[in-house]
């Protein structure tokens, strides 16, 4: 007698597959990728207010962070999204809207230079183990110019941009 696999699925099998799928999606969102809607214009034009971005939680601090957009928790427990302008040991200054890292002007094609004209921030050395973050929309961004460098360990994710 030949044994034939049944094409019928029992309700218990279907339920098991559905539970496994839901748990897989929850695990993915909890530990790997999380969608977040940005509620401020501090990263415009790169990230618009109301836009949903994906936070990549896996190894957010692997490798250099300068120029990358990162997420971290602010003092009010909201997730903040900013661009890393300088890392531990580097010096940073803003002179007439231009960002200088270690004495060199950083090209920032994502920043509207007309809106940053006249912006200044004194020369500062970023402490080891910290990063200095800036919003792309400098005129409306609360960032390291206001709250100082943040510990690298506070970075919870990098932002996937498309």
> Under CATH, what is the fold of the domain 33-160?
Umud Fragment, subunit A (2.10.109)
Q: What is the pLDDT of residue 118?
A: 76
Q: What is the pLDDT of residue 154?
A: 92
Instruction: Say which of 6, 16, 59, 82 is annotated catalytic.
Output: 82
Q: What is the pLDDT of residue 7?
A: 59
Q: Is 42 a catalytic residue?
A: yes
CA torsion angle for 18, 19, 24, 26 (degrees, to 10)?
110
Q: What is the pLDDT of residue 77?
A: 82
pLDDT band at 162 (very low <50, low <70, confident <90, very high): low
What does the domain layout of the chain look like in residue ranges? Answer: 33-160
pLDDT band at 105 (very low <50, low <70, confident <90, very high): very high
Instruction: Say which of 42, 49, 59, 144 is annotated catalytic.
Output: 42
* Rg, Å, the chain Cα set: 22
Distance in angstroms (rounded) separating the CA atoms of residues 97 and 116:
5
pLDDT of residue 29 exceeding 60 = no
What is the DSSP-derived secondary structure letter of residue 107?
A: P
């Amino acid at each position: 007698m030949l044994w034939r696999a049944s094409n019928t699925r029992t309700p218990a099998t279907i339920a098991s597959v559905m539970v496994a799928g839901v748990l897989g999606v929850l695990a993915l969102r909890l530990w790997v990728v999380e969608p977040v809607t940005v509620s401020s214009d501090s990263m415009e034009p790169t990230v618009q207010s109301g836009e949903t971005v994906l936070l990549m939680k896996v190894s957010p601090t692997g490798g250099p962070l300068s120029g990358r957009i990162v997420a971290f928790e602010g003092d009010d427990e909201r997730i903040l999204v900013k661009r890393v302008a300088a890392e531990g040991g580097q010096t940073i200054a803003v002179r007439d809207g231009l960002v200088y890292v270690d004495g060199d002007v950083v090209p920032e094609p994502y920043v509207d230079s007309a809106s940053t004209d006249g912006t200044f921030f004194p020369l500062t050395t970023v402490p080891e183990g910290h990063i200095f973050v800036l919003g792309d929309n400098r005129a409306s961004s609360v960032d390291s110019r206001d709250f100082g460098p943040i510990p690298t360990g506070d970075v919870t994710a990098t932002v996937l941009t498309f």
